[in-house]
Structure 1
Amino acid sequence: MKKRLIARHPVAELASLLLFGIFVLFLLLMLLFSARIYQQTVKNTNAENTLGTAVSYLTTKFRQHDTVNGIFTGKLDNLSALCFRDTLNDQDYITYIYLDQGNLKELFTSDSSSANASAGTTIAQLSDFQISESRPGFYSFELKDSEGNKETFYLHQNSVSKEAS
């Protein structure tokens, strides 16, 4: 039995090499585009998580304290704060939510004690936190994260004191 030698043509080898090169180039382009899409998705998710966490937390606290005189705006160490009043065992306590050095913080303290803003617990990292009460019981919130993403929302207190109406 004789073995036949098949002659190789340079054109066939070049075509195979060209096809392989196109395949590798296509794979590299797909990898680059996928990496860019992944980075953008992670960036958007982080922004949504930061602002979403803060919005959810504020909304939950607001709803928990929706009682007469339970919600008001105030100051803590010259920082604007959203304040919630609790009464436990005939003692008044205030929960302050405020922005301190790029962190949205919460501080729960006795109404009669002197509170210090640096003692608060960090909720989220924000670059801006604005709250205003346009009318009694109507609050406007504006949050901004370190990436510049903004979130504005409004909450209405159902239990507004008779004096404020």
Structure 2
Amino acid sequence: MEKGLLEKTGKSLKQWVEVVKIAKIDKHKMIIDFLKKEHGFTHGYANFVALKARKSDAASIDDQDLLYAQYKNKEALKPIYEKLVDEIEKFGADVTKTPKKDSVSMIRKKQFALVKPATKTRIDLGLKLKGKPVDARLQASGPFGTMCTHRVLLSEISDVDDELIDWLREAYEAAV
């Protein structure tokens, strides 16, 4: 987005954030409307600049703060997350963990898993396992939609067992 913004407008993200600051607009929708009306932005670029100007996107928040917020009042789930990360890191040094506001993407060249503390008692683990049949444990993707092909519900650290690790490894190996 940042590169496209510069190519389409001739100004960098930093310059557009400064334009917003000078205009003294601080509400998200008002920034979007201003950029669209006064500078001919598309909605996507206006939203991007608004998020950056307000520092309200996940990329503007420290990874540790994102994780803390995800597991606030869900602290009992954190050991499950940590066990998943420990196992995934054994696959190779090419795994990138990308925390978002409500989940953490596990990426090789493509996302292969998504860890989301869904409730106070359950983590939903999304996996990309194209063509793999669903069953009672390896469910259809559900709320993940097209981001993942499957979902596994995790409530205890013992749910991170050999079968689950095999599925994670399979998803990792396919993410090239």
* TM beyond 0.5: no
TM-score when normalising by structure 2: 0.27
Larger radius of gyration: 1
The structure with the largest strand share of the pair is 1
